Amino acid sequence: MEQPLILDRYRPLEELGEGGYGTVVLAYDTRMQRRVAIKRLPFPSDRSGRPVAPAGLAEARTAALLNHPSIVTVHEWDTDADEAFIIMEHVDGATLAELLRASDGPLTLDEAAAVVEAVADALEFAHDNGVLHLDIKPDNVIVTRDGRVKVADFGIAALSTSAGHGHGVGGTPGYMPLEQIRGEELDERTDVWAFGVLVYEILTDANPYYADTWEGAVFKAEVVEPPAPREFVPELPAALDDVLLTALAPVVSDRYPGVRSLANHLLAGLGDPRAGRRSLAALVEEACGEGLCDEVESEQVGLWDRLAPWSRAASGAAGALAAAWMAWAGLTPFALGGLAVGAASALLALAALLAPGLGLGVATVLLLAGIAREGMLLAAALLLVAAAAAWWFFGRRGATWLAALAGPVLGVARVSPAAPLLAGFMLPPLPAAVLSALGAVLTMGASAASGAGAPFTDISVAFLIDPWASAGGSQAARDLVSSVAPLMVVLGWSGAAAAMSLFCRSASRLMALLGTALGALVLLGGYLLADAVALEVNASVTWSSQALLLSVAASSILMVLVIAAGPPTRPEEE
């Protein structure tokens, strides 16, 4: 089942893993149209159970945003009410831990040289910028399909600790020196120790400090003297024993002063990094062939997610057309001349492109002015109050105002009841309900003006071409206002939009289909109530008919096609 968007942008595709800090999710960036990996770190709770942003959030954010070829890029860092989100590049490859498990043995000297060179570059760059990693381990080193090595999770260890998910100062048992486990003062030599453990492991496929518990990790760090690497792999150069044992010294001052010094000593006894990268690329391809890489089919991403980057341009174009038509229709009754009306319409179209809320709002006022000029003062006044309230609370924020104008446009295609369902598909419940109520009024008014009768769902093309010359509008308008029946339709549209929106909050196709079914029933209920009310006043005006059923059915089919193209793009939470 589709998951809600994260940060109103990222479509979760698959959970990649779970650790002490939270979860890692593979997601699709609907704006940039690319896959990303998202780390989700829940905030700790206070005594009342409310989430509290942990201390060190700003420092962790700065650490995560390091920019280096050997560091996994962090595209964005954000938080909501109860967790932090770190949005990173999705590295197409496998971790060193996965490669060691897949190869069932240590890396070659060439492969180890490629890893040492890249990890040292990444750590040196971070240290030069005042950032310690504090969680160097095979799971945090990723090898791409072309053999490049990248280090992930800068800043995560410190944030994990401040959020109550770690021990000491972040880190993982077996990859933390004593000073880190004890929570003492740390410096670059803390990462030197973890770097030494990492290299020891990739050369021997063994970690002498591995422990399942923190107590075991403390005991091994304090008591255990690691065996020389050549005791595991006799073919290793003898010089590497002294280099690695120096890096793993329990006393901080006995270690190498920095990762570059350690790397230089290591590379002197290792192989060719270039050959190592080629060999690592082959290992990754083999591992991916065994299903270790993240193979997610692109079909999991819906059409609406894919079109999201162009949604602003599309809504802008639609808003410009709507603003131009409303300005033209509103100014025509004033006999200003075709050139002046055309210029004003073009100006309003441009305004709607640059500022949709403002342009559409001004165009709506001009349309209401035209209605008043044609002698429908009461209708214009009522519409002005309703439109002003809807615009102030929702429409001025942008193109959401188009939800109120969708009904008349869809009415030309005989599917105006789809308008509230589409509004619920795209908008939160309250704006969807309010704008759909206004849309119902506009649709019924336009339908009556075009000469159509009850249930006022159809609009003739002639009305769009020349709204003030449409024949038959007078009797239809009298039928429309002959009772309070239209109010039932307004309530039906509003209720259908709200119901659809509530179901679509889960951002899944199944719930959207259920919302469509419920919304269609609510719509029909509104029209049936309108018919019952109208019968008490004028039996000749029938609000429920076979044509209405066909229109609602066609609208429902349209919504099924919309949902089949992709799940709703909705925010994760309000």
Burial of 375 (0-12, 13-18, 19+ CB in 10 A): exposed
Torsion from C-alpha of 68, 71, 72, 77, nearest 10 degrees? -70
Residues 6+ apart with CB under 8 A from 571: 4, 5, 7, 8
Q: Within 13 Å and on the Cβ side, how many CA atoms surround 59? A: 14
Instruction: Give me the catalytic one of 110, 135, 305, 479.
Output: 135
Q: Are 333 and 373 in contact (CB under 8 A)?
A: yes
Q: What is the DSSP letter of 400?
A: G
Tell me the CA distances in angstroms from 500 to 10, 411, 477, one per residue in order: 22, 20, 30
- The stretches of 129-258 forming alpha helices (DSSP H) are 156-162, 178-181, 188-204, 214-223, 239-247
End-to-end C-alpha distance for the chain, whole angstroms = 21
**What are the phi and psi torsion angles at 571 (to 5°)?**
-65, 155
Whether the link from the prior residue into 455 is cis, omega within 30° of 0, is: yes
AA identity, residue 484 = V
Tell me the CA distances in angstroms from 119 to 95, 263, 409, 481, one per residue in order: 13, 9, 59, 76
Q: Is there a catalytic annotation at residue 135? A: yes
Question: DSSP per residue over 330-366, as a string?
Answer: HHGGGT--HHHHHHHHHHHHHHHHH-HHHHHHHHHHH
Question: DSSP per residue over 468-480, as a string?
Answer: TS-TTHHHHHHHH
Starting at the earlier edge strand, list the strands of the sheet with 74-79: 10-19, 22-29, 34-42, 83-89, 74-79
Q: Are 380 and 368 in contact (CB under 8 A)?
A: yes
Residues catalogued as catalytic: 135
